[in-house]
Chain A
């Protein structure tokens, strides 16, 4: 089992994100993703065509990280855990050209990428072609397209996850649609690669992980699947995001300064070898200096160092 995760805590300008995080910590979540939602990454002109001009580029906000004190995460510290904060970017996919915009550095800087397709063609594109982590839906409104099993299984194969936002079910007006849409998603995915998240606009929208697991039963998941939806599947989604950031899922490179203290042992063998090599070199260079001082009278003879190249 993995730690409980909530991968959709909405970052809004007028509401404190820190309060939502504190509520999530209190309820027992250990991994949260702060979601920046931008409806359209491209600017449309009057004729309805998308265009991108330097003066009209939609500015994407930088990933948000909330500073939490030791006291804030005290509850988790007692359990020997800590809060992992991730950044997430969500946009509505209404145009194929938006994907090109999403490949730029300001959006790729986010840890998780999510799209909300609006048509069947774009849903197919999201499932099969583009490199994203989460496909989300406007689950409070009626789905305008049919979810076909073929692109869904291709998405599951690629590691893309489908999200159900439970805060949409709080309002009585959208509750029926929420359950109907959730059941449709369960039916087509068979419970695989489904994550349930809060989509919290305020702190009171966050629910406890065991309650969310019970909600999963309500919307058609089996018992083990419903608990997976907030733990293991979320972990798999985050791993998929890490895979996306690696080089062809084979190699990932980072600076030695970013290496955590507990991971230093993984490069100890390399460092030992490098230090021994430089130790040999320095002893050789010390010998060279001694020699050069000795050889001051004989400038022609110089020791050549074998450099291994």
Chain B
């Protein structure tokens, strides 16, 4: 079977402006496969959320039509999604957090060889509940991984997500968060560490649909060699969502002459009693602290690594689970040791 190439959005589509998926997938010889979870058990959400309004949910539709595996999660869990060489798979993960519960889910995305993995994660959080969703993407150099996460957050509930990306040749991490109940919170953060010709695209849409909601996005990108980082964040505050507090931050460090970063933080606001802001910076490592440390006998590579580590710190700090915090810190250190 050939891939549904004509269905995949091109950079002509506003939300895929910086990521050319059809070009990346064109030469790959892939066959539909499965992870062996089974796919005959659920009634899937037939229509992608916000399809008409945002026109950026094509990947959801492709997943729905070609779904290969389905997995249900309702309590603490760890899940591995590993693709093999030559596979085209469309796993669907459904997370349902009931009222008054606190759940932690760790999702590890991996793979070997060349593949296209088009994952959809569908999350519903009830009232007065918390989901901590940690994702580690450490994928194959030739792999293409697209992940669409859709989250519905109910009254007095919190969705805390962190994503560490060190891998996949091309990775698109798209999140659509709906704050549907009053006093709901959506906190997203992530660190992208990229080298060689990798591309990591973080695309976010947050909809404030009820009053007194907060949303935070804190993303850090470190780009080496010919790596390409993309951040597109959108906060949409509906008219009813008064007293909204929305914040977006994207910082990028460019470490080599060929690396590039594209940032598009968007605010779309229809309520007047709001506090929304965003910040975005792109630049290189500051020479002064580097010099300071070298003057005190710290080797340059160590000094660089320290600075990059502290650069990522702000995003990593948002992880409230201590063991996960350690795992992520360790992984960042490991990457820095091998690459810097």
A and B form one complex = no
Interface residues of B (CB under 8 A from A): none
**Chain A interface (Cβ < 8 Å from any Cβ of B):** none
